[in-house]
Homo-oligomer: A and B are copies of this chain.
Amino acid sequence: MKIVKVNLKERSYSIIINFDNYARLGKEIRKLNIGEDAFIVTDKNVMKIVGEKIISSLKKEKLSFHIETIPPTERSKSIKVWINLVEKLAKFDKKRKVFLVALGGGVVGDIAGFLASVYKRGIPYIQIPTTLLAQVDSAIGGKTAIDLSFGKNLLGTFYQPRLVYTDISVLETLPIREIRNGLAEVIKYGAIKDKYLFNYLEKNEFNPRKYDWQYIVSKCSKIKAKIVEKDEYDKKEIRMILNFGHTIGHGIETASEYSKKYSHGEAISLGMLCAVELGILLKITPKEVLKRLEDLIIKIGLPQKIKSLDIKDIMKAIGYDKKFHGRTTRMVFLKDIGSAFIAEGIPWNLITKVIKKRLE
On whether the beta carbons of B122 and A157 are closer than 8 Å, the reply is yes
Contact of A120 among B97, B117, B322 (CB under 8 A): B322
Tell me the bound Cα distance from A330 to B151 in angstroms: 43
Least Cβ–Cβ distance between A327 and chain B, in angstroms:
7
On whether the beta carbons of B156 and A120 are closer than 8 Å, the reply is yes
On whether the beta carbons of B118 and A118 are closer than 8 Å, the reply is yes
Whether, in the assembled complex, A148 has its beta carbon less than 8 Å from a beta carbon of chain B, the answer is yes
Mark interface residues in A68-107 (1 if CB within 8 Å of B CB, else 0): 0000000000010001001100110010110000000000
Tell me the bound Cα distance from A158 to B156 in angstroms: 14
Least Cβ–Cβ distance between A146 and chain B, in angstroms:
9
On whether the beta carbons of A154 and B119 are closer than 8 Å, the reply is yes
Contact of A117 among B83, B87, B157 (CB under 8 A): B157
Residues from chain B with a CB closer than 8 A to the CB of A153 are 120-121
Whether, in the assembled complex, A145 has its beta carbon less than 8 Å from a beta carbon of chain B, the answer is yes
The count of identical subunits is 2
Whether, in the assembled complex, A234 has its beta carbon less than 8 Å from a beta carbon of chain B, the answer is yes
Tell me the bound Cα distance from A118 to B79 in angstroms: 13
Beyond A79-B83, A83-B79, A148-B86, whether A156 also contacts B118 by CB under 8 A is: yes
On whether the beta carbons of A158 and B121 are closer than 8 Å, the reply is yes
By beta carbon, the residue of chain B nearest A143 is B121
Mark interface residues in A200-235 (1 if CB within 8 Å of B CB, else 0): 000000000000000000000000000000000110
On whether the beta carbons of B155 and A86 are closer than 8 Å, the reply is yes
Contact of A90 among B97, B117, B148, B234 (CB under 8 A): B148
Tell me the bound Cα distance from A145 to B156 in angstroms: 15
26 contacts between A and B (CB under 8 A): A79-B83, A86-B148, A86-B154, A86-B155, A87-B148, A90-B154, A94-B320, A96-B326, A96-B327, A97-B325, A97-B326, A114-B118, A118-B118, A118-B155, A119-B154, A120-B153, A120-B154, A120-B156, A120-B322, A121-B145, A121-B156, A121-B158, A121-B234, A122-B157, A122-B233, A157-B157
